[in-house]
């Protein structure tokens, strides 16, 4: 993880047209932002596309960054909006398509076979706001304050969403049996 002050200096230089600063930001932050998208989408290609779209949008709105403010909440707010735009676009496209008949034999998911479910599968039943908070806190490694800024909410609201998400995840993991539910602490 990089000190926030370094990121602020790079972002300020990027605003002034420093290509090396832009490159450094992309190299430092792309892996974290890619994980942020990868957790939400089963397709690596979708995560790649969203990451690229996020950097394009950051480039377009870089002038809106206020020097001296934390960079990560600003970047993740943009990433969050890109993700929401993608989701809405996908829903509109799906609404226009004809629904296919359900296949009579459903595929067995790895969790049904006794395997450990992946993170996306565990987080899928959570409400969007709770899933987003967990992803930012645990996957992206952001602080409560950074998540609050990125989601335009209070620290108390972020704590409440995280707590409710943890409770839901504990209940869900508890229902899977002791061998699967004990694979690491979520809080």
pLDDT in tens, 135-175: 888 888 888 998 888 888 899 999 999 999 999 888 888 76
Does residue 107 lie in a domain region? no
Q: What is the pLDDT of residue 19?
A: 94
Judge if 10 and 83 occupy the same domain. Answer: yes
d(CA 118, CA 140): 17
Comparing 8 with 118, the larger pLDDT belongs to: 8
How much is the average pLDDT of 47-55? 93
Contact between 54 and 33 under an 8 Å Cβ cutoff? The reply is yes
Q: Give 66's pLDDT tier (boundaries 50, 70, 90).
A: very high
Tell the residue number behind the tokens 């450990």, with chain if given: 116
Contact between 162 and 133 under an 8 Å Cβ cutoff? The reply is yes
Q: What is the pLDDT of residue 25?
A: 94
pLDDT digits (tens, 9 = 90+) for 93-112: 776 664 444 443 444 444 44
| Sign for the pseudo-dihedral over CA of 99, 105, 107, 108 | positive
Q: Which of 70, 66, 41 is nearest to 53 (CA)?
A: 41
d(CA 43, CA 46): 5
Judge if 91 and 119 occupy the same domain. Answer: no
Does residue 182 lie in a domain region? yes
Q: What is the pLDDT of residue 181?
A: 43
Select from 48, 67, 95 the last residue of a domain: 95
Query: 129: number of CA atoms within 13 Å, CB side?
Result: 11
Q: Give 88's pLDDT tier (boundaries 50, 70, 90).
A: confident
Q: What is the pLDDT of residue 110?
A: 46
Supply the range of the domain harboring residue 86.
1-95
Average pLDDT, the chain: 81
Q: What is the pLDDT of residue 113?
A: 47
Q: What is the pLDDT of residue 184?
A: 47
Judge if 91 and 10 occupy the same domain. Answer: yes
Cβ neighbours for 54, distance < 8 A, ≥ 6 positions apart: 33, 75, 78, 79, 82
Judge if 86 and 119 occupy the same domain. Answer: no
Residue 186 has pLDDT above 80, yes or no: no
**Residue 78's domain is classified under what CATH number?**
1.10.1740.10
What is each CA distance from 54 to 4, 60, 62, 80, 115, in whole angstroms? Answer: 20, 10, 11, 9, 34
Q: What is the pLDDT of residue 96?
A: 66
CB atoms within 10 A of CB 177: 10
Q: Give 183's pLDDT tier (boundaries 50, 70, 90).
A: very low
Number of domains making up the chain? 2
d(CA 71, CA 83): 18
- Residue 45 in 3-state DSSP? helix
| DSSP notation for 147-165 | HHHHTTS-HHHHHHHHHHH
Judge if 90 and 127 occupy the same domain. Answer: no
Angle CA(144)–CA(150)–CA(152) in degrees, nearest 5?
95
Least confident among 3-17, 121-135, 164-178:
164-178
Task: Give, for 26, the enclosing helix (H) or strand (E).
Answer: helix 19-40
**Residue 168's domain is classified under what CATH number?**
1.10.10.10
């Amino acid at each position: 993880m990089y000190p926030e002050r370094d990121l602020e200096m790079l972002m300020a230089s990027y605003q002034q047209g420093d290509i090396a600063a832009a490159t450094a930001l992309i190299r430092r932050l792309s892996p974290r932002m890619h994980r942020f998208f990868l957790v939400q989408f089963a397709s690596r290609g979708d995560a790649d596309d969203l990451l690229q779209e996020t950097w394009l949008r950051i480039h377009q709105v870089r002038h809106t960054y206020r020097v001296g403010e934390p960079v990560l909440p600003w970047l993740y707010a943009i990433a969050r909006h890109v993700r929401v735009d993608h989701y809405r676009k996908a829903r509109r496209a799906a609404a226009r398509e004809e629904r296919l008949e359900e296949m009579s034999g459903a595929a067995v998911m790895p969790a049904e076979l006794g395997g450990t479910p992946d993170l996306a599968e565990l987080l899928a039943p959570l409400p969007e706001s709770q899933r987003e908070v967990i992803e930012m806190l645990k996957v992206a490694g952001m602080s409560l304050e950074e998540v609050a800024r990125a989601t335009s909410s209070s620290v108390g609201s972020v704590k409440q969403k995280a707590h409710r998400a943890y409770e839901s995840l504990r209940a869900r993991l508890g229902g899977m049996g002791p061998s699967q539910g004990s694979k690491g602490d979520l809080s």
